[in-house]
Structure formats: C-alpha cells, structure tokens
Structure 1
Amino acid sequence: MTTRAELTAKLDDFAFQKVNFGGFLMNKRAKNSHALWTRNSDKGVTELAILTTRDYGDGNIYDVAAFTLDGTVPSDVQRELASEAEALADRINLREHGYVYNQLEPWDGGGTIWISKKPEFRALSRPDTGIFVIPIQRLYSEPRWLAWVRENGQLHTAIVYKP
C-alpha cells in the first residue's frame, strides 16, 4: 500500500506526474503541474474522504469528497458533511458540478475555470478549520489521494488516480 510520504516523493518525478496528469497537449498539464510542484515547498498529499457518490450510468460516476491538508477529516465532521453533501446532491445535479482535477490547479477554480462558477458543493468547505470539499467527476477508480500545493495563498489540487 502506498503512503502519503511515498506519493509526495513520487510527485517530484516528472515521469510520475506524466502518468497521472499527462496526455493532453504534449503533456502540458504534467509540465505545468510539475513546475508548480517543484517550485513550492508548501505541498503534500492527503487522503480523500468520500462523502457521497452518484452513478449516472455508462461510467459517469461523481463523488463529493472532503480533505484536510495535514491528516484526515475528523469522523464527526465527516458524518455532518456527508449528510449535507447527500442532501445537496438530492437537490441539485452533481453531474453538472463535478470536475476531474487532473492537474494541479486552483481547488476553487480561481475564477478562471468553469468549476469556479459552480460553488455549491465547495461551499460545504470550512477553510477556517482546514477542511475542504470538492465535487469530483471520476476518471478511473474511486479517488483516494489528492496532491496539493499552496502558492501565493492559493490552494491548488489534483487527484492522483495512479499511485
């Protein structure tokens, strides 16, 4: 089983990032992510806590996950957020809010990515206590690991599907 420390070290290697974030525009995503990763020291890998899941068929699976940068989401907070995420997913279409997070980019869209215009699930976050929530469109298996980098006060995240 891969550990957080092992994944954090693996992300220093461009080839590992290429496996996880490459494949589009001559590996531009992997190059950009690797550059962001290597020029910052405030970074790491954390484990996701899946709050709710919706399967729309034909491989279209969407999750809402919570994470902290330095450990696991406390179980009482996870239960509360799961209830809120479940209720929200019952009211609005999670499929319209999920994002792939397949490169290190602003967790909230940074105002430049379409996901920034869909804040409902991210609004469940509690950044003041270090708990963040993201809606995810699955690319492969259930997402477990999230890489993060903080640069100039902005949190960047990406799902690591292939640890």
Structure 2
Amino acid sequence: MTTRAEIAAKLDDFAFQKVNFGGFLMNKRAKNSHALWMRASDKGVTELTLLTSRDYGEGNVYDVATFTLDGTVPEQTLAELRPQADRLADSINLREHGYVYTCLEPWDGGGAIWISKKPEFRALSRAQEGVYVVPIQRLSGLGEPRWLAWVREGGQLHIAIVYKP
C-alpha cells in the first residue's frame, strides 16, 4: 500500500509529476506544479474522504470530498458534513461545480479560476479548523480519488489530486 510519505517523496521527481499533472498544455501544468512543490517548505500529501458522489453516466462521476492537511478528518465533522454535502449535491448541479484539480492550484480558485465563482461546496469547509471541502470531477477511468498533494505558499493553499500514486 502506498503511503503519504512515499507519494510526497515521488512528487520531488518531475517525471512523476508529469505522469500525474502533465497533459495537453505541453506539460506546462506539470512544470509549474513541480516548481511550486520544490520551492515550498510547507507541503505534503493527505487522503481525501468522499462525502457524496453522483454518477451521471458515461464516465461522468462527480464527488464532494473533504480533507485536512494532516490526513485525519474527525468523525464528528464527517457525520455533520455528509448530509450537508448530499443535500447540496441534490439541490444544485454538482456537474457545474466539479473541478479536476490536475495540477497544484489554489483550492478555492484564487479568484482567477472559474471554480472561485462557484463557492457553494467549498463553503462547507471549516478552514479555521483545517477542514476543507472540494467538489471534484473525476478523471475518466482512473477510479475514486484518494490522494491529494498540497502546498501552502504566501498564505494560499494549492491542491492537486494524485490519481496515479
């Protein structure tokens, strides 16, 4: 079984980031993520906990997940967040809110990414307690998202899902 520490060590290798964060933009995302990862001192890997999921068919699966930077979301918090995420997923279109997080970028969009204009699921977060909630659009064929890389730089939390640990 892969551990958080093993994945974090692999993220130092550009080739590993290229496999996870590369793509159609000529690996610009992987290069930017690798540079951010390497210069940051406050970084790590944590596990995601799925709060709810919706399968819209034909590989269109969306999740609402939560995480803390140390990997442990308290059970009481999970018990409170699950029904809230479920209700919200039923009341608004989760497909319009899901995001792929395929490179290290601001967890809240940082005002520059369209996700910043859709705060409903992130509003379930308890950032002051270190508990974050994100809506995720799964990458087709890669299964349930489990691992999340994070970097804190300049007070901004950047995240990316690691699908291929």
Q: Give the equivalent residue in structure 1 for 2:42.
A: 42
- Cα distance in structure 2, aligned partners of 1:115 and 1:36: 20
CA deviation map 1:86-111 (0-9, x unaligned): 01011001001000000000000000
Q: CA deviation at 1:71?
A: 2.4
- Cα distance in structure 2, aligned partners of 1:113 and 1:8: 25
- With 74-83 and 59-68 compared, the bigger mean Cα shift is at 74-83
Unaligned residue ranges in structure 2 (runs of 5+): none
Q: Give the equivalent residue in structure 1 for 2:96.
A: 96
Name the amino acid aligned to 1:40.
A
Percent identity over the alignment is 79
4+ runs of 1 displaced by more than 2 Å? none
Corresponding residue pairs, total: 163
Contact 2:48/2:71 (<8 A) preserved: no
Unaligned residue ranges in structure 1 (runs of 5+): none
Secondary structure, counterpart of 2:82 in structure 1: helix
1:145 is matched with which residue: 141, 144, 147?
Answer: 147
Q: Give the equivalent residue in structure 1 for 2:62.
A: 62
- Cα distance in structure 1, aligned partners of 2:5 and 2:30: 20
Q: Give the equivalent residue in structure 1 for 2:160.
A: 158
Within a 5 Å distance, the mapping from 1:51-130 to structure 2 comes to 51-130=51-130
- With 71-80 and 82-91 compared, the bigger mean Cα shift is at 71-80
Please report the RMSD computed on the Cα atoms of aligned residues, expressed in angstroms. 0.5
What TM-score, normalized to structure 2?
0.98
* 1:135 paired to 2:108: no
- With 75-84 and 129-138 compared, the bigger mean Cα shift is at 75-84
